[in-house]
């Protein structure tokens, strides 16, 4: 007996789909954010997190219904966010807390060092 074809188009669903659980506060609680289908890829989720689309992210899951798997992607996304933030030095306090709580690698922002005057005027101390 031949299996019947799927009624769902598999070409657009055969990919990893990322969803973000967000905390909306004590009154509203946590909820999976409603997202357009085309905005559920990894690159878009990271871009949206960095731009402040998600205020208080709690958990990020990834699933692929065609392949039949799902997993928690919170730590790997937090690691990727930490790398992106290290390059730009811009992060909201809530996103910084999310990264610090979930990243598996140390999170450190390199703060810019203010320089005063031209570098050519520096002379090292005598004996150094």
How confident is the model over 56-92, as pLDDT tens digits? 999 999 999 888 899 999 999 999 998 888 776 678 8
Average pLDDT rounded to a whole number, residues 9-31: 85
- Domain-embedded: residue 112: no
Provide the number of structural domains found in the chain. Answer: 1
Band (pLDDT 50/70/90 cuts) for residue 113 is low
Q: Which residues contact residue 38 at a Cβ distance below 8 angstroms, ignoring those fewer than 6 apart? A: 44
pTM: 0.70
- DSSP character at residue 71: E
Pair of tokens at residue 73 = 């992607």
| Domain hosting residue 29, numbered range | 17-102
- Domain-embedded: residue 70: yes
Q: Which residue has the higher pLDDT, 100 or 14?
A: 100
């Amino acid at each position: 007996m031949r299996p019947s074809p799927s009624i769902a188009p598999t070409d657009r669903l055969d990919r990893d789909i990322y969803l973000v659980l967000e905390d909306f506060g004590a009154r509203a609680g946590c909820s999976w954010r409603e997202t357009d289908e085309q905005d559920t890829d990894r690159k878009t989720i990271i871009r949206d997190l960095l731009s402040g689309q998600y205020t208080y992210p709690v958990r990020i899951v990834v699933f692929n219904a065609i392949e039949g798997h799902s997993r928690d992607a919170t730590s790997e996304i937090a690691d990727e966010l930490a790398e992106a933030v290290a390059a730009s030095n811009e992060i909201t306090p809530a996103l910084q807390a999310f990264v610090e709580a979930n990243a598996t690698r140390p999170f450190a922002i390199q703060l810019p060092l203010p320089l005063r005057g031209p570098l050519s005027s520096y002379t090292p101390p005598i004996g150094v």
